[in-house]
Amino acid sequence: MHTFEFHYKGARFVAEEEGRGPAVIFLHGFLESRNMWKTLWPQLPKTIRKISLDLPGHGDSENLGYIHSMEEMAEVVMALVHRLSLRKVFLVGHSMGGYVALAFADRYPDNIRGMVLMNSNSRADSEEKKLNRDRAIALVKQDPQAYIRTAVPMLFSEDNRKSLRKEINAAKKDALRTSAQGVVAALEGMKIRDDREAILAFAPYPILFVASRKDPALDFEMLEEQLEHHAVQGLILEEGHMSHFEEPEKLISAFKHFFKEPVKKPLLR
């Protein structure tokens, strides 16, 4: 595995890659880092070029400002694409990483070979969700570490919070590396993101959409509606928001299938 740095607007970003073949860029979620993919990568085909980065304010990457919009994060991804002289890529985005993937696809549709939206959502925040983000921002400003320690376990389905205690502690440890500014900037950016559901309807490339029935962060019925779109191949899982920890085998199987034959298929269950 090769770890390297690149720069965008004077800020330093850290990325890593391994393998050869079609490029797949993995985008982590809110309060995560490129480390989230390390348990999945060894089980994915060696015939793909796996690339990951720490998004602004997360992991080992620096902040860009006080609001990290999804469009700004997408520009960081494009800076990585240029750094590696890539043309067409697959994007895999978990949660916030899915919002970044959609923003990238909106701006650079000709650079997309296919996309995986994992425990993510193509729609903009509702007014209720925006208020929840404002409440979260207030909590982070009071005590960022307490907010992180409380928020991370709540992303797992209630049934898994005891049995996956080791995984939850690992996720919390990684999340605590995120600076308070990085947490607030990401929350502000997610709050103002655009609705990009039209991409699911009209994309000329395939999209694997992973939705979990017991996801505490996203309403499953809303996600189920998005599975009906033209470009979407659906994977319905049973557990929570952290599918890479909660149902890794099903996720890996779907990834292998998608990267081998990325076309619209019947709904997977």
Q: What is the CATH number of the domain that holds 113?
A: 3.40.50.1820
Q: Answer yes or no: is 267 within a domain.
A: no
For residue 196, the tally of other CB atoms under 10 A from its CB is 19
Q: What are phi and psi of 144, to 5 degrees?
A: -60, -40
Q: Answer yes or no: is 269 within a domain.
A: no
Number of domains within the chain: 1
Q: Answer yes or no: is 13 within a domain.
A: yes
Q: How confident is the prediction along the chain (269 residues), in pLDDT tens digits per residue?
A: 899 999 999 999 999 999 999 999 999 999 999 999 999 999 999 999 999 999 999 999 999 999 999 999 999 999 999 999 999 999 999 999 999 999 999 999 999 999 999 999 999 999 999 999 999 999 999 999 999 999 999 999 999 999 999 999 999 999 999 999 999 999 999 999 999 999 999 999 999 999 999 999 999 999 999 999 988 999 999 999 999 999 999 999 999 999 886 654 444 44
56-89 per-residue burial string, b: 16 or more CB within 10 A, e: under 16? bbbbbbbbbeeebbbbbbbbbbbbbbebbebeeb
Q: Answer yes or no: is 205 within a domain.
A: yes
Alpha-carbon gap, residue 232 to 224, rounded angstroms? 11
Q: Answer yes or no: is 65 within a domain.
A: yes
Q: Answer yes or no: is 45 within a domain.
A: yes
Q: Answer yes or no: is 73 within a domain.
A: yes
Q: What is the pLDDT of residue 124?
A: 98
Range of the domain at 64: 2-260
Q: Answer yes or no: is 203 within a domain.
A: yes
Mean pLDDT of the chain: 95
Q: What is the pLDDT of residues 75-112, one digit of tens each?
A: 999 999 999 999 999 999 999 999 999 999 999 999 99
